[in-house]
Amino acid sequence: MKIAQAAEEFLAHRRIAVTGVSRDAGSHGSNTVFDRLVERGYEVFAINPNTETIGEHKAYPDLASVPGGVEAVVIGTSPIHAMATMQQAVELGITSVWMHRSVDAGSVDAAATAYGREHGVTVIDGGCPLMFGRAADGGHKFMCAILKLTGAVPRTV
């Protein structure tokens, strides 16, 4: 499936968890994704096992702790944590996962991608949800075009 269609389907979900949201936002990608999705009206859940709150929002230690569950997950942690998140997503029946990536390796882990796909998960292995649809802004759209050339944003998933 082409990335634009996969992104549209991902962003059609209303309850989205974002892993790696930090108490110290700085320029951390997970915090930017979390904040933008909140601004755009999504029901967003911060996943961070090291705190109970992120700003004014409750944080959860893992996906299983979110009351009522989630429909989709943005993995924004180090790639070494991606497999554990993917395995938990599979266990919970979550079938839509986005591994955040910008100019560096981001959160993408090839083994977690393969595991998810083997278990029926639509895995977007690169780019950022803020590059697409109603979550996008001009800067992210520009980055998307450039990063497609480098392979940091996949053309298909």
pLDDT at 150: 85
Task: Look at residue 121 and tell me whether its pLDDT is greater than 80.
Answer: yes
Share of the chain above pLDDT 70, in %: 97
Residue 131 amino acid letter: M
**pLDDT value at residue 102:** 76
Question: 10: closest CA among 82, 70, 90?
Answer: 70
Token output for 107: 């959160």
Q: Is 31 exposed, middle or buried (0-12, 13-18, 19+ CB in 10 A)?
A: buried
Residue 27 reports pLDDT greater than 60: no
- Mean pLDDT check: name the lowest of 5-14, 28-37, 61-70, 115-124: 28-37
The pLDDT tens digits of the residues spanning 51-95 come to: 999 989 999 999 999 999 999 999 999 999 999 999 999 999 999
Give me the residues paired with residue 96 across strands: 122
Q: What is the mean pLDDT of the chain?
A: 93
Q: What percent of the chain has pLDDT over 90?
A: 80
Confidence of residue 149 (pLDDT cuts 50, 70, 90): confident
Q: Is 40 helix (H, G, I), strand (E, B) or coil?
A: coil
| pTM exceeds cut of 0.85 | yes
The confidence score (pLDDT) of residue 136 equals: 92
Does residue 26 register a pLDDT over 70? Answer: no
Residues 6+ apart with CB under 8 A from 66: 17, 45, 47, 60
* Residue 152 pLDDT exceeds 90: no
List C-alpha distances in Å: 141 to 30, 39, 45, 148, 157. Answer: 17, 18, 24, 11, 18
Q: Which domains does the chain have, with CATH numbers?
A: 3-150 (3.40.50.720)
The secondary structure of 45-94 as a DSSP string is EEE-TT-SEETTEEEESSGGGSTT--SEEEE-S-GGGHHHHHHHHHHHT-
